[in-house]
Structure formats: structure tokens, C-alpha cells
Amino acid sequence: MPALFGGAEWFCAVRSYVATAAKHGIGMFAALAHLVEGDCWMPETA
């Protein structure tokens, strides 16, 4: 992912992911751990 984005864009993408997870009751560490394991958390769609 860092190869696709510049530093600020990468930071914003990760921050956005963590903020969205937090809004759905997923902790920062849990969201990032799933992401690193390849089990990306995605919000449910309506």
C-alpha cells in the first residue's frame, strides 16, 4: 500500500479506516490486526 500512496495519502487512508471501524464499535488495534492478517474489516452495507 505505501508504494501506491505518498506518505500523507497513506496516513489518511489508514486513519480513515480506523475512524470508520471505531464508529462501528471496532477498536483501533483490532481493526489494524485484522488488516495486517489479511482479514480486512468492512462495514456492513444496508
From CA 30, how far away is CA 20, in angstroms rounded? Answer: 13
Whether residue 40 has pLDDT greater than 70:
yes
Flag whether the pTM goes above 0.85: no
Q: Could you give the CA distance from residue 29 to residue 42 in angstroms, rounded to a whole number? A: 15
pLDDT of 39 reads 87
Which pLDDT belongs to residue 3?
61
CA 29 from centre of chain: 10
Chain center to CA of 22: 10
